[in-house]
Structure 1
Amino acid sequence: MAKIDPSARIEDGAVVAPDVEIGPFCTIGGNVTIGSGCRLVSHVNIAGHTTIGAGCTIFPFASLGTPPQDLGYRNEPTRLEIGGNCVIRESVTMNVGTVKGGGLTRVGNRGFFMAYSHVGHDCLVGDDAIFANSATLGGHCVVGNSVYIGGLSAVHQFARIGSQAMIGGVSGVRGDVIPFGFATGQHAKLEGLNVVGMRRRKFTRERLHKVRSFYQRLFFGPGQFADRVKALAEERAEDPAVAEILDFVSSGDKRPIVMPDRSSNGTQEA
């Protein structure tokens, strides 16, 4: 049986799994579904057409499923979907989508969202994301699996962050960051590869050498960047990470690729 504090307010129509724990002064809207094993510590607000996956823990003053911060929103029944086993810390905010953006904001499984981080409307966030304190996504961002975004960093609307990329703290990301990339800075630049993360995910020394070599030739080789992308396309069979980077670069159409400072020669890596 669900453990619900008497001070909590749950509207008619909400679907709450029988083993959910809802602490003091939480408010749950009538179009909310909360999966098995979730725990709302206290003072949590869940609104809109929102689904919370099983096993999530949500801390005080988090506000999920509230209307998008978009002037064109007209109270349409758009959605927020949060995967299972996420940890959502104090004062995190996540908005539902907009009709023009597809109507869905989606967050994957096992995410760790630290205090005051924000997922804007129509964002698609993969599994195993880590958002440090006050990390912020503008609307329509796409974030791959196993991405780390440092504290006080902001990602421009429509930008993409490739899988296993790392964004340094206090960074302003105005474009697309390649998979496995490490970007940092006030106006973030690509500083190299997220080698620490790649090693944690069992990249061998041989694989790291291949991807590093490809990275150097892609960003620091002679000629124009577009020409280098075409010239290196035949190397996609060399390693799945190389293919993923090439596919990512070729598929972008909203924001430019975040580039390195060519004078650095790509020597700094996370």
Structure 2
Amino acid sequence: MTRIHPTAIIEKGATIGEDCEIGPYCHIGPEVILGDRNVLISSVVIMGKSEIGNENRIFSYAVIGTDPQDLKYRGEPTGLKIGDRNIIREFVTINRSNQEGEFTIVGNDNLLMEYVHIAHNCHIGSHCVVANTVQMAGHIIVQDYATIGGLTAIHQFVHIGTYAFVGGASAVKKDIAPYTRGQGNPYKTVGLNTVGLTRRGFSNEAQNAIMKVYKLFYSEGLNTSQALAEVETWSDLTPEQKVFVEFIRKCERGLSR
């Protein structure tokens, strides 16, 4: 049975799933679709064309699905999709997309800590950890299992690769390759995220293969085009190496070095 506190406002048209808990002073707009077994602690605001999956836990003063902070936005019916089992802590803000037919997307099993901002058209994968006060501009892509340290600012259109570890208080203006770690303003890549890879069960063989391709792009004195040409001559790339190389092939903002 869904339990709704008497002070909560559920506007006509909103869809509320089964076994949800909606705490005091929450406000849910008329276009919101809320799945099953979600918990809204208190004073949570969900607006716009927002689709929320199942078993999410959303803490006080989170504001989700509001208009994009974009001067080009003219009130179009834009959207937001959030998956399952996310933990969204206090004062997190997640904006809808800035164009009709597009969505801001948050996947499954993510931890978004206090004061995280996810702007319009961002795509956050699954199993990511985003620490306190990380600020994401529009159109950012964060792939699965990435970790972003607190007080980090990320430029619009940046892509952060899977299993990357971004150290706290960084300023990220270029793409960050999968499996890597770094920190700073300007951001500097300093090696592989070996601790994270080990914790996630990557074998020594897999890590050695990643290190081989990492050194080609970061330690051999080659520019990106030269390194891509060299890796084309390799045979039998491992799955991890393919992920690394394909990310760099699609890199549009330049690669964080």
Percent identity at matched positions?
37
Listed as ranges, the gaps of 5+ residues in structure 2 are none
Change (3 A) 1:14 1:228: same
CA deviation digits over 1:116-137, x for unaligned, max 9? 0011100011011111001121
What is aligned with 1:264? Answer: none
> Residues 129 and 236 (structure 1 numbering): CA distance in 2 closer, same or farther, change over 3 Å?
farther
Query: Residue 53 of structure 1 aligns with which residue?
Result: 53
- What is the SS of the residue equivalent to 2:208? helix
Structure 1 counterpart of 2:256, from 255, 258, 262: 258
Matches within 5 A, 1:110-129: 110-129=109-128
In structure 1, list runs of 5 or more residues that go unmatched: 260-270
Q: Match of 1:256, as an amino acid?
A: G
Deviation at 1:236, TM superposition (A): 6.6
Matching residue of 1:103: 102
> How far off its partner does 1:213 sit?
2.2
Over 3 Å counting, the alpha-carbon distance change for 1:25 and 1:161 in structure 2 is same
Cross-structure match for 1:218: 217
1:233 and 1:246 in contact (8 A); partners too = no
Query: Aligned partner of 1:163: which letter?
Result: T
In the TM superposition, what is the alpha-carbon distance from 1:209 to its structure 2 partner? Answer: 1.6
Residue 85 of structure 1 corresponds to 85
Deviation at 1:181, TM superposition (A): 1.2
Report Cα offsets for 1:80-112 as digits up to 9, x if no partner: 100000000000000000118x62100000110
The verdict on how the C-alpha distance between 1:239 and 1:24 changes in structure 2, with shifts beyond 3 A counting, is same
> Where does residue 262 of structure 1 map in the other structure?
none
State the alpha-carbon separation in 2 of the partners of residues 68 and 236 from structure 1.
45
Task: Provide, for residues 204-259 of structure 1, a one-character-per-residue CA deviation record: whole Å limited to 9, x for no partner.
Answer: 11221221122112211144331122111233733111111111111122x11101
Asked if structure 2 preserves the Cα contact closer than 8 Å seen for 1:237 and 1:243, the reply is: no
Give the AA of the match of 1:184: Q
The equivalent residue for 1:29 is: 29
Give the aligned partner of residue 227 of structure 1: 226
Q: Per the alignment, in what secondary structure is the counterpart of residue 244 of structure 1? A: helix
Aligned partners of 2:122 and 2:213: how far apart in 1?
30
Q: Distance in 2 between matches of 1:59 and 1:256?
A: 36
> Corresponding residue for 1:191?
190
SS at match of 2:234: helix
Residue equivalent to 1:142: 141
Query: What's the secondary structure of 1:80's corresponding residue?
Result: strand
Greater alpha carbon shift after TM alignment, 194-203 vs 38-47: 194-203
Q: Is the 8 A contact 2:20 2:38 kept in 1?
A: yes
C-alpha distance in 2, partners of 1:31/1:198? 40
Q: Is the 8 A contact 2:167 2:183 kept in 1?
A: yes
Q: State the Cα RMSD in Å.
A: 1.2
TM-score by length of 2: 0.97
Q: How many residues align?
A: 257
Q: Distance in 1 between matches of 2:235 and 2:242?
A: 4
Which AA in structure 1 matches 2:166? I
Counterparts of 1:35 and 1:206 in 2: how far apart (Å)?
41
| AA of the residue aligned to 2:49 | H
